Amino acid sequence: MRLGVVVLLAVVLGAPLHARADNVDTLIGQLRDGGDRERLAAAINLVKLGDVKAILPLAKVVLERNESSEDVRQVAAQGLGSLVKSATSSTIRSLVIKNLTDAAQNDSSAAVKSAANASIGALGGSAPATNTNTQAASSGSVKAVYVNVGPMSSKATKGDSKRIMAMMHSTAESSLKSTSYAIAWPGGAPSATQLASKQTAGFYVDGTLNDLDVNTSGGGATISCKVNMLLAEFPSKSMFGFLNGKASVQGGASQKDVDDAAQDCVQAVVENLITKQIIPTIRTKTGISP
């Protein structure tokens, strides 16, 4: 690191996001009216909070094939399987299963179909779709791992977003290069058929810088950052892991020092998420040492 001391504060795979129950109405509004990234964050938070008020809004989202992004529909479809409980009214349960069935049959995304089928199974409907990576690993047919690294994104209002996103991508790739897992494929990203022919399990990794905060005091500055990353199957991009981490860096107060510290902060979180959470998770799912 170029500047100061980096303090990693929290990196947890699948841990609840820090949203309070009194935010449910706000999150439902964000799910309805926000942009793709805002809607994705709202859907994830609503599922984590587990409030029954989120069931009908999420059930509506799974049918919004022209209005909602694939990721938002997938999270909504996955979340409904856990939000609907035995105490949920039969009317609402029936509506949810009806919408999930429609998504499982008609959505253009394989990831959404898989999530919908899984939730239908959890609610007592038809059997869930098979997780091909897990099935192949359990049968001993997986010999290798391929990881596709996404473009990364930034919601932060401070810092050079393009520079930070490029750094996040390169940091993820460099962290994965230290393993035996492939991050490149001859001719471009492989199809499911190509992966199967090479007995290779495919995974997808992407991330978002959610916040970058700068506090100056005297001749120094403290830069804090928050990063989310997702882990999914590839090429279906069926998400099964959502990670969040944050860090702080102390450095100088000049603009150059602040910019460098911001890079260090984000890089530290991405490296930690990849090496401490994502790589061990892939190893657990496939049995293949990194």
The string of pLDDT tens digits covering residues 193-228 is 999 999 999 999 999 998 899 998 888 899 999 998
Q: What is the spatial distance between Cα 46 and Cα 40, in angstroms, rounded to a whole number?
A: 10
Quote the mean pLDDT of the chain.
Answer: 83
Residue of 203, 183, 199, 182 lying closest to 142 (CA atoms): 199
Rounded to two decimals, what is the model's pTM?
A: 0.60
| pLDDT score recorded for residue 127 | 40
- The answer for residues whose C-beta is within 8 angstroms of residue 189's C-beta and 6 or more apart is 148, 234, 235
Q: Is the pLDDT of residue 60 over 90?
A: yes
**Whole-number percent of the chain with pLDDT over 70:** 87
Taking a C-beta distance cutoff of 8 angstroms, is the pair 233, 240 a contact? yes
**Whole-number percent of the chain with pLDDT over 90:** 38
Taking a C-beta distance cutoff of 8 angstroms, is the pair 223, 213 a contact? yes
Q: How confident is the model at residue 244 (pLDDT cuts 50, 70, 90)?
A: confident
Q: What is the spatial distance between Cα 250 and Cα 7, in angstroms, rounded to a whole number?
A: 9
Mean pLDDT of 177-200: 93
**CA geometry: angle at 172 spanning 247 and 194, to 5°?**
150
| pLDDT score recorded for residue 210 | 87
Structural domain boundaries in the chain: 18-129, 135-286
18 or 257, which is more confident?
A: 257
Residue of 135, 113, 137 lying closest to 126 (CA atoms): 113
Q: What is the spatial distance between Cα 143 and Cα 125, in angstroms, rounded to a whole number?
A: 34
Buried/exposed 149-183: b ≥16 CB within 10 Å, e otherwise: bbebbbbbebbebeebbebbbebbeebbeebebbb
| pLDDT score recorded for residue 136 | 59
Q: How confident is the model at residue 5 (pLDDT cuts 50, 70, 90)?
A: very low
6 or 63, which is more confident?
A: 63
pLDDT tens, position by position, 137-175: 555 578 999 999 999 998 888 778 889 999 999 999 999
Helices (H) and strands (E) in the chain, counts: 11, 6
The dihedral sign for the CA sequence 261, 266, 269, 271: negative
DSSP state of 236: T
Q: How confident is the model at residue 57 (pLDDT cuts 50, 70, 90)?
A: very high
What are the backbone angles phi and psi of residue 204, rounded to the nearest 5°?
Answer: -125, 135
3.30.465.10, 3.30.230.10, 2.40.50.140, 3.30.160.150: CATH of 135-286? 3.30.160.150
The dihedral sign for the CA sequence 281, 6, 182, 129: positive
| pLDDT score recorded for residue 68 | 82
Q: Write the single-letter amino acid at 138.
A: S
Q: How confident is the model at residue 132 (pLDDT cuts 50, 70, 90)?
A: low
3.90.1150.10, 3.60.21.10, 3.40.50.2000, 1.25.10.10: CATH of 18-129? 1.25.10.10
Q: How confident is the model at residue 115 (pLDDT cuts 50, 70, 90)?
A: confident
| pLDDT score recorded for residue 65 | 85
Q: How confident is the model at residue 135 (pLDDT cuts 50, 70, 90)?
A: low
- How far is residue 208 CA from its own chain's centroid? 9
Q: Is the pLDDT of residue 2 over 50?
A: no
Q: What is the spatial distance between Cα 1 and Cα 84, in angstroms, rounded to a whole number?
A: 46
Q: How confident is the model at residue 122 (pLDDT cuts 50, 70, 90)?
A: confident
Pairing relation of β-strands 220-233 and 6-13? unpaired
Q: Is the pLDDT of residue 4 over 80?
A: no
| pLDDT score recorded for residue 7 | 41
DSSP state of 276: I
**Which range (44-58, 79-93, 116-130) has the least confidence?**
116-130
Q: How confident is the model at residue 53 (pLDDT cuts 50, 70, 90)?
A: very high
Q: What is the spatial distance between Cα 229 and Cα 281, in angstroms, rounded to a whole number?
A: 13
User: What tokens does 250 get?
Assistant: 């102390």
- The answer for residues whose C-beta is within 8 angstroms of residue 252's C-beta and 6 or more apart is 3, 219, 220, 221, 258, 261
Other residues' Cβ atoms within 10 Å of the Cβ of residue 255: 9
